[in-house]
Amino acid sequence: MIKKMDIRCQFYGKKFSPKVVEKQSGITLENKIEVGDITNRGKNIGKPTDYGNGELCPPKDFKDNEDFGLYWIALTLSKHIDIFRKCGAEDIDLVIGVWYEKQCNLVFEPKSIKLIGELGIALQVSCYEDY
């Protein structure tokens, strides 16, 4: 049984600007880092970063849906992927973390998978036993 699922799309790039993405798209990103920001974690802690980063996460209303917001992410990406790329996104990682108890069965709706496939983005899934 799935206990928790976390879905997010991570954007990275040497010229990626999450602020510009937010301004142009109206989307709010999480865990934003602008090129040149001083980092407080990772291998370059205390130094300016040489890349930009941001994460697209489904709003709470969508996280509570049966698909935990996967369709929302897929639809939002399909509408705004050009903006992300024009704003410097070189790497785009769509990641799902699944915490389960006893058995983990995942079902992805065709409409979500179709949109993700059309974008050419790999879907990464990591499963963790919830204790």
Q: Average of pLDDT values for 98-116?
A: 91
Residues in CB range of 114: below 8 A, 6 or more apart: none
8 A C-beta contact, residue 121 and residue 96 = no
18's enclosing H/E stretch is helix 18-25
Segments making up each domain of the chain, as ranges? 2-129
pTM of the model: 0.89
63's enclosing H/E stretch is helix 60-63
List, for residues 46-91, the tens digit of each pLDDT value: 899 999 999 999 998 887 777 889 999 999 999 999 999 999 999 9
Q: Average pLDDT, whole number, for the chain?
A: 92
What CA–CA distance (Å, rounded) separates 21 from 17? 6
pLDDT band at 106 (very low <50, low <70, confident <90, very high): confident
pLDDT band at 45 (very low <50, low <70, confident <90, very high): confident
At residue 127, φ and ψ (nearest 5 deg) are: -115, 140
